[in-house]
Structure 1
Amino acid sequence: MHPTISPDSARIGPARPGRKRPDAGALLRLAARACVWLAAMLALALFAARPAMAQSILRDAETEELFKDMSAPLIEAAGLEPGNVDIVMVGENSVNAFVAGGQAVYIHAGLIGEADNALQVQGVIAHELGHITGGHVIGIGDGAAAATNISILSLLLGVAAAAAGGGAAGMGVMAAGQQAAMGKFLAFTRGQESAADLAGAQYLAGAGMSGRGSIEFFEKLQQLEHRAGYFARSEDTFYRTHPLSRDRIQTLEHVYMRDPAWNRPNDADIEARFRRVKAKLYGYLADPKDTLNHYPVSDTSVPARYARAYAYHKEARVDAALREVDALIAAAPQDPYFLELRGQVLLEAGRPDEALASLREAVEITRFQPLIATMLGHALIATEDKDHYEEAERVLRAAVARDRLNPTAWYLLGRIYDAQGDMPRARLASAEKQIMTGDPGAALQNAQAASASLPESTPDWLRANDIAMEARAQIEDRSKRR
């Protein structure tokens, strides 16, 4: 007895006595369900290839400045404008980097922690720039479409075979078609990764940077694969979105070793700054006990003191944190990031008045770096001294003028406007924060209220209407996805 498809349950199984062979409609319903299955599998593969944007963004003035300087030569070599490309840190400990549309490269904090030097991270950035210039985020839809076309064709063939009486044969055609579809999609993404590897090599060469860091990082990825118990077999490549690290190393070594920059050392200043940022992130993200084991008190280097200061701060050991920060400032009195950290420790310890001097100096040295200016605005408000509100408004307005994508600054600015009785601008500031933090309903409500009270055709009135329009679009988009 050949297996057939039960039309009431769409399961594969033996035919029940007295049941007729399923008609074509039942088979088409099965085909539709199989299409849904394939779509889910392709979506899963796409998710694996391009991580979701729901992950938290980790912002830090020093790290962003380092990323800017590390990436600028590579961005120029890629034919892009450095001011138009963002290198964004994701607050995840996994070793990953990706692009997700637009001109932005997202780097997980865990990748910084795993890298041994800045050149390795620059190799990753060069690779991701290859995805941007190759239009791979847009093009990945082409791969999914081609895979879906193969699957639908195989499903229709399967329906025809089953309708003709060959149920087992029909299901075999469907399964083979779906496997072929997934294989085509994964091969498509592997092709993109290989193209990005070669583009990255071109950009490193154009920037005069050695590809040694790129090779070292691929070797590190290979070690991580082995550490996780994954030993690649040739047939495994069918199920991977990326080429095997082993294959990438072999391909790129031939390219990099011919480049005149192969033995060129990286910029010493960039490397020193990278070690600082790596230690800073370790102290910020890791358990304090792990940080203090990794950076024992016997280590008096700048990175070690930096990491320990964050570890002590996380444990609310304010005096210990300040001792480390003060030692750093004693060695580099004009370093704005050490001054920023001192202000942060004091502010978050409930001592905002004491934080003001360090934060004001850091803001002045960096010429109103937006994130540091935001912290100064926070400290000024936290003093609960209304005499500080005028200064707080000034520094916060300067912060959002230079960096509009700063929800904390908008929130604090809204508090200032509220304290001053300026409710239209308080609502506008709230709408700015809400539209960028995923609350379009509240953003729409506040934007409409602000628009109704602000003078027409003024910049603030126009902005309120822009936010309202954007909020409506987000709400409509969400309703369509339900």
Structure 2
Amino acid sequence: MASRLIGLLRRFSWTPLFLAFLVVSAPANAASVIRDTEVEALLHNLMAPVFKVAGLDPDDVRIYIVNNQQLNAFVAGGQNIFVNTGLFITAETPEQLQAVLAHETGHIAGGHLARGSQAMDRAGTQMIIGSILGLAAAVVGAPEVGMAMLAGGMTVAQGEFLAFTRTQEQSADQAAVTFLGRLHLPPDGLLQFFQILNTQNNLLGGERGNPFLRSHPLTQERIDFLRTQVARSPYEGRQLPSSDHVAFDRSRAKLDAYLSPPNQTLKKYAGNSLVDRYAQAIAYYKIPDVKKSLSLIDELIKENPSDPYFPEFKGQMLFENGHVAESVQPFRDALRLKVDAPLIRYALARALLEEQGGNNAPEAAALLRDVTRVDPRNASAWRSLGVAEGQIGNRGESAMALAEYALLIRNYDDARLYVSRAKAAVPPESASYYRVEDLERAVNDLRDDLRRNR
């Protein structure tokens, strides 16, 4: 079952209906998967060192951000951590967020999922399948249907997750303490977060109201253990670098501003700090008051010329409001400042492809080849690559890219069609031909998987 879950995750797709901040529009009570360059960079900076000291390869552990207001985080399907926006926004410091995810890392490193019951496997399967079906529907133009499916999959999965035992929870706590100690950090963040959980628990009337506590039972013994560890730590009082605090404050405000009503955001972030103005720009963008939002973001760009995320947001805003040609330069500026960002690279490529009267397919195709190499789960990037390759006359490469797209959204008929077209377009015994044969095997695997799950 574990290998099946990992295989499903390899075909997990993302729907870029926004550019810089990828989240499908949905009712407030629905769940969706969020992707954002800035937030992902923060999570990488916080967690890559933890994964390393835990004996895990940071490239093998995936952190998924779930648009759900409930305070929760969980692991599933191998080395995959899911963190709700509710937990992200509730955490008060980067140390708290890092410590909670270090605890989840402890479950992975301790093999707790492998020793769980079949109910855990069933829950993980339902979540992943529900997510794939939901995101696939959104890709093909029905986001409201897609989100309903995705929300249903996530709800079933989280409701059925096997609660970890007290022994496993204590083991994960000890692991988190150990990992943080190896980084010369105290476990203050985990203790502080448990205190927040206790407060939430009391307000909600017991563990039934708190999904995190249902799957991670909190006991006084665990709190006492952490208090002792904090008191004993030779690193008591030590914090993460100020740059991590700035990045955390920005990312948390960004998530909050995107997911909250604009009037609520403008009231909450009414000051003149960088974080406040960033949140205000997002709120005005959502109203939409593009003129006001552009004024704020241009001001931030002028004050912070080396920051990639402000021009990225400006490009997104212009693109989404029909100013495609004007969005190209901000995206170029953002990519120049952060060359290792596949989402920004994808945004620029899409703007180039959609620019009216342009002849940008060769540049867009080059960008998209880079994106799909480093971010192969980005289904829309494969689709755009198929379009770009077709525009420059690369019929075989176009068909292969569209086959990858069809496989990611689990559309067997289209995948089989595009593989057939690719096979007819590429020279026999060439490197491309062998890739087509790999795609053909993947199509057959998809067919068999769909039959099993009927």
Shorter chain as denominator, the TM-score bin is: 0.7 to 0.9
Q: Which deviations, in whole Å up to 9, do the C-alpha atoms of 1:34-55 show, x marking residues without a partner?
A: xxxxxxxxxxxxxxxxxxx996
* Counterparts of 2:170 and 2:273, CA distance in 1: 40
Aligned pairs (5 A) from 1:400-415: 400-415=372-387
SS in 2 for 1:87: strand
How far apart are residue 94 of structure 1 and its match? 2.2
Identity fraction in percent: 34
235, 260, 265: which one pairs with 1:261?
235
The equivalences for 1:18-167 within 5 A come to 56-141=32-117
Matched, 1:350 2:322: yes
Q: Does 2:398 match 1:431?
A: no
Please say if 1:229 is aligned against 2:181: no
| Whole-angstrom CA distance in 2 between matches of 1:294 and 1:210 | 31
AA of the residue aligned to 1:210: P
Q: Count how many residue pairs are aligned between Structure 1 and Structure 2.
A: 383
1:295 aligns with 2:269: yes
Question: Does the CA contact (< 8 Å) of 2:382 and 2:402 recur in 1?
Answer: yes
Deviation of 1:389 (Å): 1.9
CA deviation vs aligned residue, 1:189-209 (integer Å, no higher than 9, x gap):
443222212111111111112
Q: 1 CA distance for matches of 2:355 and 2:119?
A: 56
Provide structure 1 residue ranges, at least 5 long, that are not aligned to the other structure. Answer: 1-52, 146-184, 233-238
Say if 1:441 and 1:125 are closer, same or farther in 2 by CA, change over 3 A.
farther
State the secondary structure of the residue aligned to 2:64: strand
Q: Is the 8 A contact 2:66 2:82 kept in 1?
A: yes
Contact 2:117 2:162 in 1 (8 A): no
Paired residue for 1:472?
A: 444
Q: Deviations over 1:50-85 (max 9, x none)?
A: xxx996431111111111111122112112223332
| Counterpart contact for 1:210–1:266, Cα < 8 Å | no
Distance 2:164 2:322 in 1: 54
- The answer on whether the counterparts of 1:194 and 1:243 sit within 8 Å (CA) in structure 2 is no
Q: In the alignment, what sits opposite 2:360? A: 388
Contact 1:441/1:475, CA 8 A, preserved across alignment: no
CA distance, structure 2, for counterparts of residue 393 and residue 316 of structure 1? 32
CA contact (8 A) 1:222 1:245 kept: no
Moved segments of 4+, more than 6 Å: 142-145
Distance (whole Å) between structure 2 residues aligned to residue 389 and residue 137 of structure 1: 46
Structure 1 range deviating more: 280-289 or 464-473: 464-473
Match of 2:186, as an amino acid?
Answer: S
Higher relative contact order (CA 8 A, sep 6+): 2
Using the alignment, how far apart are the partners of 2:162 and 2:372 within structure 1?
42
Q: Is the alpha carbon distance of 1:138 and 1:471 closer, same or farther for their aligned partners in structure 2, counting shifts above 3 Å? A: farther
Amino acid at match of 2:201: E
Distance 2:166 2:416 in 1: 42
Once the two structures are TM-superposed, the CA of residue 355 in structure 1 deviates from its matched residue by 1.2
Range 210-219 or range 79-88, more displaced: 79-88
Q: State the match for 2:169 in structure 1.
A: 193
2:222 counterpart (225, 248, 264): 248
Q: Please, what TM-score do these two structures have when normalized by structure 1?
A: 0.74
Tell me, in whole angstroms, the C-alpha distance in 2 between the residues paired with 1:471 and 1:120: 43
TM-score, normalised via structure 2 length: 0.78
- Which residue among 218, 234, 240 is the counterpart of 2:194? 218
Structure 2 residues without counterparts, runs of 5 or longer = 1-11, 14-30, 122-160
Q: Is the 8 A contact 2:385 2:401 kept in 1?
A: yes
Q: What is the root-mean-square deviation of aligned Cα atoms in Å?
A: 2.5
2:247 is the counterpart of 1:273: yes
SS where residue 381 of structure 1 aligns? Answer: helix
Mapped partners of 1:260, 1:107: distance in 2:
30
The structure-2 alpha-carbon separation of the partners of 1:395 and 1:127, relative to structure 1 and needing over 3 Å to count, comes to same
Task: From the superposition, tell whether residues 425 and 332 of structure 1 become closer, same or farther in structure 2 (CA, over 3 Å).
Answer: same
Q: Is the 8 A contact 1:447 1:468 kept in 2?
A: yes
Query: Larger C-alpha radius of gyration, 1 or 2?
Result: 1
399-408 or 273-282, which deviates more: 399-408
Assess if the C-alpha contact under 8 Å between 1:428 and 1:447 holds in 2.
yes
User: Structure 2 counterpart of 1:460, which letter?
Assistant: S
How far apart are 1:116 and its partner, in Å?
Answer: 0.5
Q: CA deviation at 1:358?
A: 1.3
1:448 and 2:420 matched: yes
What CA distance in whole angstroms lies between the structure 2 residues aligned with 1:134 and 1:202? 13
